[in-house]
Amino acid sequence: MSEEVIEKEVWSMEELVALTDEVQKEAIEYRGKEVEFQFCELTESEEPKFKNLGANATEDEKMSMYQELGSQRCIKMILKANEKNPDGITITEEHWAGLPTTLRYGIANKIMGVEGAVKENFTI
């Protein structure tokens, strides 16, 4: 019996820090066509901030806040990439606000790296 040794790649701190300056390009399929977009990872200081809902906030209010925060995070990541790569702009802030909700969720899931989990858990 032979055991196969699998070597894992390990990120260096320099590589991780560099991700916040790297423009990443992705695409998703939406209604039979590709939608291309670009984004950059954010640093802590660039992240959108929570607003305090208070102890009496309902679950609906909390969920609404989390959805809005997620949307703000995605558009900040897209706008950061647009600044770094102005020739590659595909989605603007105005576009983001007007996109169909299902498309926005698809883009957000791809950016957040949860696309596979969403498909796995919500495929009919």
Q: How far apart are CA 25 and CA 19, in angstroms?
A: 13
Q: How far apart are CA 52 and CA 57, in angstroms?
A: 9
Domain residue limits, the chain: 22-43+79-124
pLDDT of residue 2: 64
Closest to 37 (Cα-Cα) out of 18, 22, 24: 24
pLDDT of residue 25: 95
pLDDT of residue 54: 77
Q: How far apart are CA 120 and CA 124, in angstroms?
A: 9
Higher model confidence: residue 106 or residue 52? 106
Q: Check: CB of residue 111 under 8 Å from CB of residue 57.
A: no
The string of pLDDT tens digits covering residues 44-61 is 999 988 777 778 888 888
pLDDT of residue 34: 96
